[in-house]
Amino acid sequence: MGDAKSPLVAVKLMKVAVVQFPGSNCDDDARHVIEGVLGAKTVMIWHLEDDLQGADALILPGGFSYGDYLRSGAMAAQSPIMAAVKAFAKRGGPVLGICNGFQILTETGLLPGQLARNPVLHFLCQPVYLRVERSDTIFSSAYDRSQVLNIPIAHNEGSYYADQDTLNKLEAQGQVVFRYCSATGVVDAESNPNGSLNNIAGIINEAGNVLGMMPHPERAAEALLGSEDGLPLFRSLLNWAKSGSGVLV
């Protein structure tokens, strides 16, 4: 295993923190990809802590933080660790929010917009296709632009919404990184599983270091599980961290 294009040794030096909220349930899946598949180091950080333990990158994993009883991600956004997460993001540190992690990022204000309930009014766990809109971000450099990815979704509230001004700004600044599309890469209503505006599946902040996405790349990172299309996302992140092209802390 490891990355053919980059020296494994360097990747192994990277440390990715996975933040655990009570109710997170994809935390171990994220750890497995970073450690078990890519051979880098992870550290699990409990939400009550305030120190990121020298991590090079952060993952806010999927799940149902605090049971999502109030509004998805709303409680987690108030967790003690989030002050450190915000500071880390402000310094340019890479933060990846997957599913519930995306919801937490919008609730925290690190990303614009909101995730509303699926129009079908129930949970949806299914494979979807994503079109890579940007391959020049720290999360997507290992992809080609317009590449079509097969990555599953699993959520109840994944319908991306933002007001028209925000949406215009997102589009104008190229902040949409992934869009739901057909198997051949056509972005249309039919290939939009959850009514997200502009078929938005993942967006990045203006500074380019905070990415939120509803699909689960960690579930598509091994051939045995049916798709490896999510793996380059984690590779992109580790490569960036390895190159030291920003940092931080």
Min dist CB 31 to another protein, Å, is: 10
Does residue 129 belong to the site contacting another protein (CB under 8 A)?
A: no
Does residue 99 carry a catalytic annotation?
yes
d(CA 187, CA 200): 10
Catalytic, out of 26, 47, 99, 155 = 99
Catalytic, out of 107, 155, 157, 216 = 216
Q: Which is nearer to another protein, 216 or 242 (CB)?
A: 216
Give percent helix, percent strand, percent coil of the chain, each to the nearest 5.
30, 25, 45
Min dist CB 25 to another protein, Å, is: 2
Closest CA to 193 of 154, 161, 222: 154
Q: Which of residues 16-75 bind another protein (CB under 8 A)?
A: 22-23, 25-26, 28-29, 32-33, 36, 62-64, 66-69
Among 6, 135, 147, 156, binds another protein (CB under 8 A): 156
Does residue 195 belong to the site contacting another protein (CB under 8 A)?
A: no
Does residue 83 belong to the site contacting another protein (CB under 8 A)?
A: no
Does residue 26 carry a catalytic annotation?
no
Q: Which of residues 203-232 bind another protein (CB under 8 A)?
A: 216, 218-219, 221-222, 224-226
Which positions are catalytic? 99, 216, 218
What is the contact surface with another protein in residues (CB under 8 A)? 22-23, 25-26, 28-29, 32-33, 36, 62-64, 66-69, 121-126, 152, 154, 156, 216, 218-219, 221-222, 224-226
